[in-house]
Structure formats: structure tokens, C-alpha cells
């Protein structure tokens, strides 16, 4: 199962899907789009074994691990 972690103030949410069977892809894509389209969250693909990250602009159902992190507001 592939995983998307949505980091939040009150805790993290984990969404799982299976690209081979299609289980959960629709839900994962919807949540990804809701969070990233408003610009509130940035998405990253986590490398194998947690080795490095790459920014992600569109949902990739074949990604093993996606992290959605809220944008930081600075001044």
C-alpha cells in the first residue's frame, strides 16, 4: 500500500491506496487536490528509506510515500 501523510496542527492524517487495484486512489487524489490547490500545503515525495524529498505538483498514484506539509508563514 502507498501512503500519503497530511501533517496538521492537531495531528497527522494518513491516507493509503493501492495503485494495482485502484483501492483508495480517488480519495487520495481528492485530498491531495483539496490541500494543494488552495496553496495551503506543499507536497513532497519521500525517497526510498526516507532518503531525500522531491517537490510534487500533481498527485502521483505510483508514489510510495507522499507528504503534505502546511506552508509556513514568515515575516
- For the stretch 9-50, pLDDT in tens is 889 999 999 999 999 999 999 999 999 997 789 999 977 776
- CB neighbours (10 Å) of residue 65? 15
Higher-pLDDT residue of 74, 45: 45
User: Global pTM?
Assistant: 0.86
Outline where DSSP puts E strands in 2-64.
Answer: 2-6, 13-17, 41-46, 53-56
Report yes or no: 68 and 4 within 8 Å, Cβ to Cβ: yes
CA distance to 26, 75, per residue, from 67 (Å): 17, 25
Residue 56 has pLDDT above 60, yes or no: yes
Q: Sheet holding 2-6: strands in order across? A: 13-17, 2-6, 65-70, 41-46, 53-56
Query: What pLDDT, on the 0 to 100 scale, is given for residue 58?
Result: 96
Amino acid at each position: 500500500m502507498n501512503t500519503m501523510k497530511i501533517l496538521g496542527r492537531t495531528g497527522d492524517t494518513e491516507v493509503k491506496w493501492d495503485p494495482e487495484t485502484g483501492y483508495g486512489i480517488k480519495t487520495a487524489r481528492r485530498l491531495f487536490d483539496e490541500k494543494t490547490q488552495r496553496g495551503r500545503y506543499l507536497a513532497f515525495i519521500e525517497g526510498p528509506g526516507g532518503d531525500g524529498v522531491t517537490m510534487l505538483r500533481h498527485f502521483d498514484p505510483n508514489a510510495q510515500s507522499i507528504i503534505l506539509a502546511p506552508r509556513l508563514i514568515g515575516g
